[in-house]
């Protein structure tokens, strides 16, 4: 997938007043593979809804979303499944880790169906993000920041054309946010995927190609 | 699999699985026992003494003083009477008895002792005869004739005549191995070698093949009128009021020529069918409980399944742990039920041996395909239902 197009897109639960003045809602816009986008807005402006619309986990919107020209409303569950395995990743705002699994297992449960990372690569990332000594701890016992870093590695454990990151550093200190940014830059240099990041204010430090205010 | 198992297992209730395991063993054991017992006793319900296919009755006319005056031929059924009987619709099939139109003298030599007696032949159409067809074919030109005698003739000899006369008792096998010489005299004389091929509970007469008797009457008979004195009916309606009143109105006597095996076989089959039906019902109810129990676990794990779908898991991959659990449980059910039936069979086979000496029981390994089929059907059905349930979560939760 090389492009994501949106045409007059806005959430079905919005009034017409809610979309006035937005750089994203009710506009036509194209997201390109290889580029980085930051979507900034205060709470309640639909950042997570936008990520879920693109990820296919919500469809309560007006307008149109196209992947390489194909309206996503025409995609079936198996096509979405394929996209989520091979093309489109999402780092969930609520992280969606399995509390009974360890840090390593939470990453492995994604990696085992994509086979993308070697165990050594996962260990290296965990070490970079300061989670090496916690890799065998259950996710339920981690802090929010630690969970966020775990979810970040899991989101990378697949082939990617676009990575959606829904408030990825909301619970991270500047140091860890910087490390996350370094890993992301290295992965992008190897794979050249597009990144769409949403932020409430505390943003992932990165040179963005476009800044979009919701 | 290990990671998925780790996620879903906390909602699995092993007490629930144990409950299913026990109730299913009861259901499947009853079902398999019904099949096993039927296959073991079925040799008793078919073969030479079989009447499992329906009931047979023999009709005669009441002997009255007036009819007695007509020298043995006063009670014949006319063609018109037979047509009237056919028109009632009681009988699936009506057969006429053909009587011998000549004199017969039989000689048997057993252990150097010769016994002889006057006797008679009768025949009915072959479809009423319960002997194997290859034994019943006759070739009069060769001088051989197969014979079926009533079983109670042998009983009378063994349990009344022989003890009284100090004679040895004869087994069924011995009787069948003895050759009988029939000397026939009518318009001309002839000699045939007879062999008893069966002992009948159905027809109380000395039976020879219909073709043979037709040939013999034509060749040796006096050419007398040969309207039938008796009729044999294949009917399922012998107990009905219409049948009984018709027979009474026409002065016909209905003999209990039918053997009891038919009814016993019918009752036995019905009882085994009901038993297998109850087993099937219990199995189905147990399976429903298992599937509903698994639905509950799936529902409790719904959030986790939704996350796994978002990570790219397929419904089949998520169904796998559940399918393995229900398959293992159902395999254990089938294995345990087979063992239960095996034990029960050992108990009843001793009893059967006591009643029917040397009755060959079928090899118990014949039960394995039935047990395997029960396992496959239950596991496949449960797996399919679980898969559909999980697939519906993907449709409902991932595409809003």
Q: Which residues neighbour B40 within 8 Å (Cβ) at sequence distance 6 or greater? A: B345, B348, B349, B352, B361, B362
Give A104→chain B minimum CA distance, Å. Answer: 11
The confidence score (pLDDT) of residue B400 equals 46
- What crossing angle do the helices spanning B260-300 and B302-311 adopt, rounded to 10°? 70
Q: By three-state DSSP, how is residue B77 classified?
A: coil
**Given an 8 Å threshold on Cβ–Cβ distance, is A85 in contact with B312?**
yes
Q: Is A92 on the interface with B (CB under 8 A)?
A: yes
| pLDDT of res. B111 | 67
Chain B residue with minimum CA distance to A108: B3
Tell me if A55 and B310 make a contact (CB, 8 A cut-off).
yes
CB A91 within 8 A of CB A151: yes
Reported confidence tier of residue A71, pLDDT bands at 50, 70, 90: very high
Per residue in B26-61, pLDDT tens?
Answer: 888 888 888 888 777 776 665 443 333 456 788 888
**Is residue A110 less than 8 Å (CB to CB) from chain B?**
yes
Answer whether A68's CB lies under 8 Å from A11's CB: no
What is the predicted pLDDT for the residue at B172? 81
Cα–Cα distance measured from residue B24 to residue A7, given in angstroms and rounded to the nearest whole number: 58
Q: Is A13 on the interface with B (CB under 8 A)?
A: no
**Interface test with chain A among B306, B307, B310, B392, by most A beta carbons within 10 Å:** B310
Q: State the alpha helices, DSSP H only, in B207-314.
A: 210-220, 241-249, 260-300, 302-311
User: Could you tell me the pLDDT band of residue A131, with boundaries at 50, 70 and 90?
Assistant: very high
With a CB cutoff of 8 Å and minimum separation 6, the contacts of B350 are none
* Per-residue model confidence as pLDDT tens digits over A31-65: 999 999 999 988 888 899 999 999 999 989 999 99
Per-residue model confidence (pLDDT) at position B262: 56
For testing contact with chain B, the best of A13, A56, A57 (most B CBs within 10 A): A57
Nearest CA distance, A102 vs chain B (angstrom): 10
Domains (range + CATH), chain A: 3-100+160-213 (3.40.50.300)
State which residues of chain B have pLDDT below 50. Answer: 47-53, 257-259, 400
Residues with Cβ < 8 Å from B184, sequence gap 6 or more? B102, B103, B104, B105, B190, B191, B192, B216, B220
Which of A56, A78, A109 to mutate to probe the B interface, most B CBs <10 Å?
Answer: A109
* B35 neighbors B355 (Cβ within 8 angstroms): no
Separation of alpha carbons A112 and B209, rounded Å: 78
Q: Are B60 and B97 in contact (CB under 8 A)?
A: no
Give residue-wise pLDDT tens across range B133-150.
777 877 777 788 899 888
Cα of first residue to Cα of last residue in chain B, in angstroms, is 28
Instruction: Find tokens 């449709």 and name the residue.
Output: B395
Task: Answer whether A159 touches B (CB < 8 Å).
Answer: no
Q: With contacts defined as CB-CB under 8 Å, which chain A residues touch B6? A: 100-101, 105
Percentage of chain B beyond pLDDT 70 is 84
**Spatial distance between the Cα atoms of A63 and A22, rounded to a whole number of angstroms:** 15
Q: Copy the structure tokens of residue A146.
A: 């630690």
Contacts of A59 in chain B (CB under 8 A): 399-400
Tell me what pLDDT residue B49 has.
Answer: 39
Average pLDDT for chain A: 92
Taking an 8 Å cut-off on Cβ atoms, the answer to whether A84 and B311 are in contact is yes
Q: From the CA of B384, how many Å to the nearest CA of chain A?
A: 19
CB proximity under 8 Å: A 170-209 to B: none
Three-state secondary-structure class, residue B357: coil
Closest residue to B399, CB basis, from A56, A84, A105: A56
Q: Could you tell me which chain A residue has the CA closest to the CA of B396?
A: A57
Question: Which is more confidently placed, A180 or B283?
Answer: A180
- Is A105 in contact with B6 (Cβ distance < 8 A)? yes
Beta strands in B20-143 (DSSP E): 55-61, 91-96, 98-99, 103-110, 113-119, 122-123
Instruction: In whole angstroms, give the CA distance from residue B378 to residue A47.
Output: 48
DSSP state of B229: S
Residue A168 pLDDT more than 70?
Answer: yes
Q: How many helices (DSSP H) and strands (DSSP E) are in chain B? A: 14, 11
Query: Domain segments of chain B: what residues?
Result: 2-48+263-398, 98-227
Q: CA-to-CA distance for B225 and B204, rounded, in angstroms?
A: 23
Number of A to B CB contacts under 8 A, please give it.
57
User: What is the predicted ipTM?
Assistant: 0.92
Best residue of B1, B2, B303, B312 to probe chain A, by most A CBs closer than 10 Å: B312
pLDDT for residue B368: 87
End-to-end CA distance of chain A: 24
Pure H helices in B109-256: 133-136, 151-156, 162-165, 172-177, 210-220, 241-249
Cα distance between residue B196 and residue B173, in whole Å: 10
Q: Tell me whether residues B310 and A113 touch, CB distance under 8 A.
A: no
Q: Which residues of B262-286 are buried (b: 16+ CB within 10 A; e: fewer)?
A: beebbebeeebeebbeebbebbeeb
């Amino acid at each position: 997938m090389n492009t994501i197009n949106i045409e007059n897109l806005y959430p079905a639960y919005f009034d017409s007043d809610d979309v006035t003045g937005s750089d994203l809602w009710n506009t036509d816009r194209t997201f390109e593979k290889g580029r980085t986008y930051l979507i900034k807005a205060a709470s309640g402006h639909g950042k997570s809804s936008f990520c879920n619309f693109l990820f296919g986990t919500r469809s309560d919107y007006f307008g149109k979303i196209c992947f390489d020209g194909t309206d996503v409303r025409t995609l079936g569950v198996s096509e979405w499944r394929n996209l989520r395995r091979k093309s489109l990743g999402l780092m969930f705002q609520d992280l969606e880790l399995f509390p009974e699994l360890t840090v390593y297992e939470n990453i492995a449960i994604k990696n085992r169906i994509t086979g993308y990372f070697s165990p050594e690569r996962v260990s290296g990332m965990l070490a970079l993000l300061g989670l090496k000594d916690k890799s065998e701890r259950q996710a339920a016992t981690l802090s929010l920041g630690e969970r966020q870093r775990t979810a970040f590695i899991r989101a990378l454990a697949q082939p990617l054309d676009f990575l959606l990151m829904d408030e990825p550093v909301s619970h991270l200190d500047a140091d860890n946010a910087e490390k996350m940014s370094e890993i992301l830059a290295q992965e992008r240099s190897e794979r050249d995927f597009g990144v769409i990041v949403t932020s409430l204010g505390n943003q992932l430090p990165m040179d963005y190609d476009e800044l979009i205010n919701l | 699999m290990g990671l998925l198992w780790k996620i879903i297992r906390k909602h699995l209730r092993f007490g629930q699985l144990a409950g299913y395991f026990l109730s299913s063993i009861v259901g499947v054991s009853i079902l398999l026992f019904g099949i096993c017992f039927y296959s073991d006793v079925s040799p008793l319900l078919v073969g030479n003494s079989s009447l499992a296919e329906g009931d047979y009755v023999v009709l005669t006319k009441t002997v009255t003083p007036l009819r007695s005056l007509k020298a043995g031929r006063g009670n014949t059924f006319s063609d018109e009477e037979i047509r009237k009987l056919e028109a009632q619709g009681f009988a699936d099939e009506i057969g006429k008895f053909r009587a011998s139109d000549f004199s017969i003298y039989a000689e048997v030599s057993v252990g150097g002792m010769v016994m002889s007696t006057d006797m008679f032949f009768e025949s009915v159409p072959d479809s009423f005869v319960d002997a194997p067809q290859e034994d019943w074919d006759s070739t009069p030109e060769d001088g051989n004739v197969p014979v079926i005698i009533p079983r109670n003739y042998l009983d009378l000899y063994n349990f009344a005549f022989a003890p009284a006369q100090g004679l040895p008792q004869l087994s069924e096998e011995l009787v069948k191995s003895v050759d009988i010489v029939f000397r026939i005299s009518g318009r001309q004389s002839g000699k045939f070698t007879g062999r008893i091929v069966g002992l009948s509970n159905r027809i109380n007469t000395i039976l020879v093949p219909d073709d043979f008797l037709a040939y013999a009457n034509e060749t040796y008979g006096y050419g007398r009128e040969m309207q039938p004195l008796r009729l044999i009916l294949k009917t399922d309606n012998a107990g009905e009021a219409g049948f009984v009143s018709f027979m009474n109105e026409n002065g016909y006597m209905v003999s209990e020529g039918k053997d009891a095996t038919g009814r016993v076989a019918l009752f036995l089959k019905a009882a085994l069918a009901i038993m297998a039906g109850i087993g099937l019902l219990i199995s189905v109810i147990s399976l429903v409980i298992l599937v509903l129990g698994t639905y509950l676990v799936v529902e409790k794990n719904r959030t986790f399944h939704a996350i796994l779908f978002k990570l790219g898991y397929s419904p089949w991959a998520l169904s796998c742990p559940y399918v393995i659990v229900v398959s293992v449980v159902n395999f254990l059910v089938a294995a345990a039920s087979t063992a239960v039936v095996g034990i029960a069979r050992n108990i009843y086979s001793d009893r059967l041996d006591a009643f029917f000496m040397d009755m060959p029981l079928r090899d118990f390994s014949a039960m394995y395909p039935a047990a395997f089929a029960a396992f496959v059907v239950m596991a496949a059905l449960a797996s399919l239902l679980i898969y559909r349930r999980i697939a519906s979560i993907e449709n409902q939760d991932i595409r809003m």
